[in-house]
Amino acid sequence: MRCGNGIEARQVDELFINIDPIQAGGRLTADAMKAVIAYGDGYSVCDNCRKPNRLDYISKPPIAEFHKDVAAWLNMDTVRTVPGARRGFQAVAHTYVHKGDPVLLTSLSHYTEFLAIEETGGIAREIPVDADHKVTPEATATKIEEVKREFGRVPALAFIDHVDYQYGNMHDVKAIAKVAHGYDIPVLYNGAYTVGILPVDGKDLGVDFVVGSGHKSMAAPAPSGVLAVTAERAAEVFRTTTIVGDVTNRKFGIKEPEMMGCTLMGATLVGLMASFPHVKERVKHFDRELENNAIVMDALLAIEGTTCLSEYPRKHTMTRVDTTASFDTIAEAHRKRGFYFSSALGEKGITGLIPGATKIWKFNTYGTTKKQAMHLADAFIAVACENGLPLKK
């Protein structure tokens, strides 16, 4: 099948078990696929936009209700949809960070958090992680004190990733937020790897902002995401426009500058909405996902020389392993070099690993069935055995 203009239909998740770390949680549900087709046209959600004209007020399709549902689900007060988690970071940073302001993030923070700070003229200050690649409340307090000494004031904002993208480790956001709030620093919870994957309760975590990624973790098309805030912060981040045209005297009502008025206007939003009931259900069964991850980890760790670089036992399905002393030892002499590994897995119906990577790599078992997890486990063991790698006794 072709889409025209040289575009072939993508058949990755149809033909393979895809364990790409960033793709597993974004795979569309059948309902989202229908929504993409039905709402693919430009501005298609605007058919029934009535006064006051703003995306989050539209009731057909039930966009207004969706906003309320997401806020309740995350236990926050106000929600807006955004074109990716990064645009949520940007709106918050732009509201609180001014030129020269220090901003707190961590040494495992995602590049999009850095860029959001850069755009405002802020200065990044990273909380160092401990030997286990974890961000601790103690290190947070120490870093804030350091920033105070350096800048004469505390950071304007803190970005804390609940589960980081490098190790998939889970950091104690609740305790970290408590420390930051002790200094009156607003806290943004980066839920790119958690919102839509496991239960998230913003009030319990004690954070000011919860950001989620639709295309990474909510089975939604890209670019999509959510920004949920407390009532106190809503008036700041979602302040309405005050600008006036000098010739026409025009004003723009309740449009919000940080949202550029309206955000997701078609397939992205309706896709996110269509998957939402499935997402709400799936977060309740994260334990099953961890069980499937454990099936695969047990197999990998049974191969002599393989180590898990992420915290272990796993608290998230996105995992970083080191196979320098196992799969990588085959690469040099193999006629396909390092590509033998992804190629052998491909033959067994597995995709999503960086081709050629045999040393340190990440995978995500999220969304696999138990049967698929067992197939993954068998496949890793089989590739090891085919290449003469020893298994642990």
Binding site for ligand PLP (CB under 6 A): 22, 84-86, 110, 112, 161, 165, 190, 192-193, 213, 215-216, 225
- Of 102 and 225, the one with the shorter C-beta distance to ligand PLP is 225
- Of 211 and 384, the one with the shorter C-beta distance to ligand PLP is 211
- Of 271 and 338, the one with the shorter C-beta distance to ligand PLP is 271
Quote the least distance from Cβ 265 to ligand PLP, whole Å: 17
Quote the least distance from Cβ 225 to ligand PLP, whole Å: 5
Quote the least distance from Cβ 19 to ligand PLP, whole Å: 16
Quote the least distance from Cβ 243 to ligand PLP, whole Å: 27
C-beta of residue 206 within 8 angstroms of C-beta of residue 177:
yes
Quote the least distance from Cβ 349 to ligand PLP, whole Å: 26
The 3-class SS string of the chain reads CEEECCEECCCCCCCCEECCCCCHHHCCCHHHHHHHHHCCCCCHHHCCCCCCCCHHHCCCCCHHHHHHHHHHHCCCCEEEEECCHHHHHHHHHHHHCCCCCEEEEECCCCHHHHHHHHHHCCEEEEECCCCCCCCCHHHHHHHHHHHHHHHCCCCCCEEEECECCCCCCECCHHHHHHHHHHCCCCEEEECCCCECCECCCHHHHCCCEEEEEHHHHCCCCCCCEEEEECHHHHHHHCCCCCCCCCCCCCCCCCCCHHHCCCCCCCHHHHHHHHHHHHHHHHHHHHHHHHHHHHHHHHHHHCECCCEECCCCCCCCCEEEEECCCCCHHHHCCCCCCCHHHHHHHHHCCEECCCCCCCCEEEEECCCCCHHHHHHHHHHHHHHHHHCCCCECC
Quote the least distance from Cβ 330 to ligand PLP, whole Å: 31
Quote the least distance from Cβ 82 to ligand PLP, whole Å: 8
- Of 237 and 379, the one with the shorter C-beta distance to ligand PLP is 237
- Of 259 and 383, the one with the shorter C-beta distance to ligand PLP is 259
- Of 292 and 364, the one with the shorter C-beta distance to ligand PLP is 364
Quote the least distance from Cβ 292 to ligand PLP, whole Å: 20
User: 10 Å Cβ neighbour count for 148?
Assistant: 14
- Of 20 and 101, the one with the shorter C-beta distance to ligand PLP is 20
- Of 164 and 256, the one with the shorter C-beta distance to ligand PLP is 164
Q: How far apart are CA 36 and CA 46, in angstroms?
A: 15
